[in-house]
Amino acid sequence: MKKLISIVGTTGIGKTALAINIAKHFGTEIISCDSRQFFREMPIGTAAPSAEELAAVPHHFIGNLSVQDYYSIGQYERDALQRISELFRKHEVAVLVGGSMMYEKAVIEGLNSLPEANAENQQKLEAIFKEHGIEALQDLLQKEDPAYFEVVDRDNHRRLFRALDVIWQTGKTYTENIAEPPEPRGFEMIRIGIGAPREIIYERINERVTLMMEKGLLKEVQSLLPYRDLTALQTVGYTELFKHLDGQWTLDFALDEVRKNSRRFAKRQLTWYRKEEDIQWVNYENSLQESLSLLLNHNIKPKN
């Protein structure tokens, strides 16, 4: 059976570098499941692979869309599975990488049969959002489904809309709705997680924000001001700097908020991954060697 190696871990911990090294070792290609790296106009703020990294190994689903494009997780599941199927015609192994937990889940397990959006519910939620802000939606979800509240991207109002709509339609929590038995896939899954102490994760996040600013993040955000209300831009690093450009926040305060919200996202990633029982963890300081050793135990050998 063909094998899909999925690299997971918190933001900034080195998933891209590990995925590239593993793909080079096995002579294969990379599928991204980072839902923000799909958009070509935001490479800096999403820490998309550099031109050199993209040249080192073929990547799929990086910069393939515009922020103006509508692209659902269901579309991604179909497209990613089709691309993986094509890769398996040439390779025994493929590599999946990215920190968007639900997008990885869509590939490795499949999406559950959730109901389509209900227009009446959407109107109610839109009214709550406009009148009381995102905090009211967060409070609602925390009350209705505390487990999903711990892992959802709470700053993305569309994610909150979706979860609450499904809860109201089904009478079950969103967690219950997505916990149905997974669809069997026609390939073997091997999940590798990069582990690190919390202080190292936070240190990496701080370094990443500094590097993004050096690369021109503020200019990138400025160029996206006309699209700020689009879902793709409801993202850490952009929402905070939009407020700076509006004159609401100083640049230093906005960057502190970017670091703080990145840490919050890393905590949600950790909460999600800790519940997953099939992840094999490697140390961030020796991730490649430990990963190759693990993969050898799965009888995966380098391409001759």
Annotated binding site for ATP: 9-16
Q: Which residues of 113-144 are buried (b: 16+ CB within 10 A; e: fewer)?
A: ebeeeeeebeeebeebbeeeeeeebbebbeeb
Dist CA 50 CA 56 (whole Å)? 10
Dist CA 177 CA 112 (whole Å)? 7
Q: Which residues are annotated as a binding site?
A: 9-16
One DSSP character per residue, 210-239 reads: HHHHHHTHHHHHHHTGGGTTSGGG-STTTH
Q: Which residues are annotated as a binding site for substrate?
A: 11-16
Q: Which residues of 43-57 are buried (b: 16+ CB within 10 A; e: fewer)?
A: bbbbbbbeeebeeeb
Q: Which helix (H) or strand (E) holds 274?
A: helix 251-274
